[in-house]
């Protein structure tokens, strides 16, 4: 499949001088229209969805169809600090509330992490397990989805399977797999897609993409990398 059908604009990747956004809760999934920055736009067609996707870079952040994209090949800048996305968190709260109504023991475990939080975490993991092992389960600073404010880890009060692949086999893990998309979330690192996402199966790690995209990703049993045909 041919890529890069159209390139519009000029690529300028800079570490912007923008400081931390104090208005973090007002962050929208789609970036704001007003722009004094030069951007890169590419239109490309993904083989799975047979749709044209717009890749846009702004202030060092990659957006595809308006969704912030980050993985081990596509970094976020160190000064990108949007804070927790309120819309995403509200949907997570509703998801947890509904799961608990069904007597499931589902709890929030972690959410937004700044670049420097991730830097410290990664250093600790490398010190504990070595770099190769740490890279299997931890993102390097600038490569964590938690930096987007759109990503949450869930677990259980019992915590026996928290942050383990076995969480996927618990009632809570199964419920997440079946219902997360109804709240606009995807299991970002699914089982069997390790080579594509670069991460082990993480049944607890949820990325908010909105109901539209979450439904498509769920139905196609795919990943952001495959759906957008980007960053594989
Ligand atoms: Zn996570």
Residue range 177-225, pLDDT digits in tens: 999 999 999 999 999 999 999 889 999 999 999 999 999 999 999 999 9
DSSP state of 149: T
pLDDT at 135: 87
pLDDT at 61: 97
CB distance 149 to 24 below 8 Å: yes
CB distance 205 to 187 below 8 Å: yes
Which residues are placed with Cβ below 5 angstroms of ligand 1, an ion? 153, 205
Mean pLDDT, all residues of the chain: 84
Distance CA 200, CA 194 (A): 5
Tokens of 112: 């937004």
- Catalytic residue, candidates 145, 202, 225, 226: 202
Q: Considering only CA atoms, which of 212, 201, 124, 194 is closest in space to residue 168?
A: 201
Q: Which comes out higher in pLDDT, residue 42 or 39?
A: 42
| DSSP 3-state of 116 | helix
In CATH, the architecture of 86-228 is 2-Layer Sandwich (3.30)
pLDDT at 51: 76
Q: Considering only CA atoms, which of 189, 125, 116, 183 is closest in space to residue 147?
A: 116
| Section 101-112 average pLDDT | 97
If you measure from the C-alpha of residue 133 to the centroid of ligand 1, how many angstroms do you get, rounded to a whole number? 16
If you measure from the C-alpha of residue 140 to the centroid of ligand 1, how many angstroms do you get, rounded to a whole number? 12
DSSP state of 75: P
Tokens of 191: 């089982």
If you measure from the C-alpha of residue 18 to the centroid of ligand 1, how many angstroms do you get, rounded to a whole number? 26
If you measure from the C-alpha of residue 205 to the centroid of ligand 1, how many angstroms do you get, rounded to a whole number? 4
- pLDDT category, 48, cuts 50, 70, 90? low
Domain ranges of the chain: 6-69, 86-228
Q: What is the pLDDT of residues 135-159, one digit of tens each?
A: 888 899 999 999 999 999 999 998 8
Q: Is the pLDDT of residue 76 over 80?
A: yes
182 as an active site residue: the answer is no
């Amino acid at each position: 499949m041919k890529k890069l059908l159209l390139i519009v604009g000029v690529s300028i990747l800079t570490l912007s001088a923008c400081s931390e956004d104090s208005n973090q809760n007002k962050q929208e999934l789609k970036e704001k229209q007003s722009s004094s920055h030069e951007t890169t736009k590419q239109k490309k067609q993904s083989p799975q969805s047979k749709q044209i996707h717009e890749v846009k870079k702004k202030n060092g952040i990659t957006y595809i169809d308006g969704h912030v994209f980050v993985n081990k090949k596509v970094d976020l800048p160190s000064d990108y600090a949007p804070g927790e996305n309120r819309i995403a968190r509200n949907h997570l709260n509703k998801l947890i509330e509904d799961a608990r109504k069904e007597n499931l023991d589902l709890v929030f475990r972690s959410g937004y992490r700044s670049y420097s939080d991730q830097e410290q975490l990664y250093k600790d993991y490398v010190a504990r397990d070595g770099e190769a092992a740490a890279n299997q389960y931890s993102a390097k600073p600038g490569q964590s989805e938690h930096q987007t404010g759109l990503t949450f880890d869930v677990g259980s009060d019992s915590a026996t399977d928290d942050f383990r692949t076995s969480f996927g086999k618990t009632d809570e893990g199964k419920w997440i797999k079946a219902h997360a998309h109804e709240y606009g979330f995807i299991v970002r690192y699914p089982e069997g897609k390790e080579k594509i996402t670069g991460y082990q199966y993480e049944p607890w790690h949820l990325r908010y993409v909105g109901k539209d995209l979450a439904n498509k990703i769920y139905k196609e049993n795919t990943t952001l990398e495959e759906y957008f045909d980007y960053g594989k």
